Amino acid sequence: MSSPAQETTSAMNAAPGSVTLNGVTIDDTFAEAFPMKATRVLITAHNETWARNAAVSMTGFATSVIACGCEAGIERMLGADETPDGRPGASVLLFSMSGKELAKQLERRVGQCVLTCPTTAVYAGLDEGEAIALGRNLRFFGDGWQISKMIDGKRYWRVPVMDGEFVAEETTALVKAVGGGNLLLLARDTDAALAGAEAAVEAMRAVRGAIMPFPGGVVRSGSKVGSKYASLMASTNDAFCPALTPLARRSELDDYTRCVMEIVIDGLTEADVSAAMRAGIAAIVARGAAAGVTRISAGNYGGKLGPFHFHLHKLLGGEGAA
Amino acid sequence: MSATRGWCLRLKAQPDFRVDLGGVLPARLAAMTADEVARVEVRHGNERLALGELFDIAALDGVAGESAPELRLDGDLSRFDAIGQDLDGGVLHIAGAVGDRLGLSMRGGEIRVQGSAGQLVGGEMTGGLIEVTGDVGDFAAGALPGSMDGMRGGTLIVRGKAGARCGDRMRRGTVVLHGDAGDFLAARMVAGTIAVAGRVGAHCGYGMRRGTLVFAGPLPAVPSTFVATHQDIVVFWTLLRRSLAYHGGPFAALPVRAPRRLVGDLAADGKGEWLLPG
């Protein structure tokens, strides 16, 4: 990747201070993120199929804390040599706005989606942090037949179920995390936007400690804070809606931008979010403007929403969040 | 304050009576000067004796604070009881045999004995590690008379044989027994894990309520109050097998496939389990 200074440009739709790499304009703006609470759990099963089934089910309806209670995703699939019990597995990250809500969501989702899934077991995926219940309360499903075992300082619960026994570690760890990192991909049409977003998400999924919680990692209904309707806390991001380019009080789009996709990133640390955003930008830039994504921007609220500001140009320079 | 990380006490001669070394702990002595260590009194029969009369005292190499406080005891200490009793940190090395109540009620730290030990090794311990390269006497990891619970946490490793009633009323923790076990192994066991590589005596698991017994060596005679279950326990077995493999010997070669599982003692609710690999 060239340095921003080498390719500063004045493309038609470029805002002042923007830079262009391989034809893709990168706005001089920042993604604004906020503090969250997070945990990681490891799900294992008899084979990868059933580990994935449990993980997909557990992370379902977990795109946004606005209405889902938590944001969750599969961080990555795990090989048999990476799990506590030597079986294939999945690493799952969950994020919520409070530790209490996170604990509630974790217990419900593990109870309904992992405990129920054939052959699974579940373990803590973090060692450091405040302990929250994992199998501690699910054990009561055993109706008195559950067995506690301490192995190497960790407590496990063995709950008799119809395929044998469900093994769950007593607790996992809760840590402070970062939610709401984002990239806006501005493209000439739907095909180009989807292809670019898919490529970016694929690159971002290689980053550990981060998830993109929306369907396929991509959200088309980016939102702004507030609404003309008092009962709504968020509404459509009119500045980036092509349908409103000539109508909205303030549009960020030009006539050539006809589709915008957003990628939202939650990470265990600022560095994880930075790394994921950097990977996404690099993937789009590598494809070049000829592939259809002509501009990368980010969503912020003037710095009033959250303390974490991921400046796109600083990410290009490898400096991470400011 | 002492400038050393600990002391080495070398036995001068066998005492006339049994000596109670309770309270002679690494952290306590590491904070003392050599003269202060020599003046520490211990019970000797009905009298009290200074450590300086029983042991030659030398400082260990190293500086205080660089590592955990350490105490080394050198000699045949089979007449010395309560070594490491109530230990809650630091390292205790003993080169030679020790008496009864080694590590009784200890809460943390390490005790490593190059030799054999008497009765009640690790009795009612709640944490820490005890390793004995030789044999241990009766009631290892057991309970004191009148007490409801034996071992309540930590790890006891015995490279040799154990006497009778090993794990009596044990409630939590792990016992790894490389040699044979005497009668009444895991009797009245409430919970915890005992892995044994040698032969076991009569009445194994008598009155066992919960807990796990792993037989890594000869298979025991199965009493009529234990019955087989047939569910898939490969997940739990893998976790346990990997943990036991760390102790080496026959435990390093436990088979990958899940073992045969028996539950009992049915006369005491039947929630204890025997795992029979092979």
**What's residue A15's pLDDT?**
65
Establish if B176 touches chain A: CB-CB under 8 angstroms.
Answer: no
3-state SS track over B145-205: CCCCCCCEEEEEEECCCECCCCCCCCCEEEEEECCCECCCCCCCCCCCEEEECCCECCCCC
pLDDT tens-digit series, residues A108-119: 999 999 999 999
Establish if B238 touches chain A: CB-CB under 8 angstroms.
Answer: yes
Select from B141, B142, B78 the least CA-distant residue to B113. B78
B188-193 contacts, C-beta under 8 A, 24 or more apart: B188/B268, B189/B213, B189/B272, B190/B149, B191/A148, B192/A150, B192/B151, B192/B167, B193/A149, B193/A150, B193/A151, B193/B240
CB contact under 8 A, A160 and B235: no
**What's residue A8's pLDDT?**
39
Residue B82 token pair:
């309560």
Establish if B191 touches chain A: CB-CB under 8 angstroms.
Answer: yes
pLDDT at A3 over 60: no
pLDDT at A242 over 50: yes
Where does residue B112 rank: exposed (0-12), middle (13-18), buried (19+ CB within 10 A)? middle
SS3 B109: strand
Partner-chain residue, chosen from A85, A156, A164, that has the shortest CB–CB distance to B231: A164
CB contact under 8 A, A165 and B236: yes
Establish if A80 touches chain B: CB-CB under 8 angstroms.
Answer: no
Establish if B37 touches chain A: CB-CB under 8 angstroms.
Answer: no
When the pLDDT of each residue in chain A is averaged and rounded to a whole number, the result is: 93
**What's residue B107's pLDDT?**
97
**Residue A213 to chain B, least CA–CA distance (Å):** 30
* Mean pLDDT along residues A120-148: 97
Establish if A82 touches chain B: CB-CB under 8 angstroms.
Answer: no
**What's residue B17's pLDDT?**
96
CB of B194 closer than 8 Å to CB of B167: yes
* Mean pLDDT along residues A119-132: 97
Give the separation between CA A186 and CA A23, rounded to whole angstroms: 13
Please state whether B143 falls in left (phi above 0), alpha (psi between -120 and 50) or beta: beta
Establish if A319 touches chain B: CB-CB under 8 angstroms.
Answer: no
Confidence class for position A145, pLDDT limits 50, 70, 90: very high
Establish if A85 touches chain B: CB-CB under 8 angstroms.
Answer: yes
**Residue A152 to chain B, least CA–CA distance (Å):** 7
pLDDT tens-digit series, residues B70-120: 999 999 999 999 999 999 999 999 999 999 999 999 999 999 999 999 999
CB contact under 8 A, A165 and B240: no
Give the separation between CA A212 and CA A308, rounded to whole angstroms: 17
pLDDT at A233 over 90: no
CB contact under 8 A, B235 and A165: yes
CB contact under 8 A, B212 and A121: no
* Mean pLDDT along residues B19-31: 94
pLDDT tens-digit series, residues B175-218: 999 999 999 999 999 999 999 999 999 999 999 999 999 999 99
CB contact under 8 A, B236 and A163: no
* Mean pLDDT along residues B167-178: 97
pLDDT tens-digit series, residues A60-86: 999 999 889 999 999 999 999 999 999
Partner-chain residue, chosen from B192, B210, B232, that has the shortest CB–CB distance to A164: B232
pLDDT at B265 over 60: yes
Q: Which of A119, A147, A154 to mutate to test the interface with B (most CBs of B within 10 A)?
A: A147
ipTM: 0.91
Could you tell me whether strands A234-236 and A223-225 are parallel, antiparallel, or unpaired per DSSP bridges? antiparallel
Q: In what helix (H) or strand (E) does residue B114 lie, and over which residues does it extend?
A: strand B108-114
Give the separation between CA B73 and CA A106, rounded to whole angstroms: 51
pLDDT at A5 over 50: no
Residue A160: list chain B partners with CB under 8 A: 231
CB of B81 closer than 8 Å to CB of B99: yes
**What's residue A12's pLDDT?**
44
Whether omega before B16 lies within 30 degrees of 0, making that bond cis, reads no
DSSP string, B30-95: HTS-HHHHHH-EEEETTEEEEHHHHEEEEEPSSBTTSS--EEEEES-BTTEE-TTTT-EEEEEEEE
* Mean pLDDT along residues B55-67: 84
Please state whether A102 falls in left (phi above 0), alpha (psi between -120 and 50) or beta: alpha
**What's residue B129's pLDDT?**
98
CB contact under 8 A, B233 and A165: yes
pLDDT at A10 over 70: no
CB of A39 closer than 8 Å to CB of A266: no
Establish if B231 touches chain A: CB-CB under 8 angstroms.
Answer: yes
pLDDT tens-digit series, residues A285-319: 999 999 999 999 999 887 777 899 999 999 997 54
Give me the residues paired with residue A296 across strands: A26, A185
**What's residue A302's pLDDT?**
79
Residue A165: list chain B partners with CB under 8 A: 231-233, 235-236
CB of A169 closer than 8 Å to CB of A151: no
pLDDT tens-digit series, residues A258-294: 999 999 999 999 999 999 999 999 999 999 999 999 9
Evaluated on CA atoms A97, A103, A107, A113, the torsion sign reads positive
pTM, full prediction: 0.91
pLDDT tens-digit series, residues A152-194: 999 999 999 999 999 999 999 999 999 999 999 999 999 999 9
Side chain identity at residue A41, one-letter code: V
Partner-chain residue, chosen from A147, A151, A160, that has the shortest CB–CB distance to B239: A151
Partner-chain residue, chosen from A151, A163, A164, that has the shortest CB–CB distance to B240: A151
**Residue A257 to chain B, least CA–CA distance (Å):** 53
SS3 B118: coil
Establish if A163 touches chain B: CB-CB under 8 angstroms.
Answer: yes
Q: In what helix (H) or strand (E) does residue B260 lie, and over which residues does it extend?
A: strand B260-264
Residue A163: list chain B partners with CB under 8 A: 232
DSSP 8-state code for residue B4: B
**What's residue A180's pLDDT?**
93
CB of B259 closer than 8 Å to CB of B229: no
pLDDT at A13 over 60: no
CB contact under 8 A, A150 and B192: yes
Establish if A164 touches chain B: CB-CB under 8 angstroms.
Answer: yes
CB contact under 8 A, B240 and A121: no
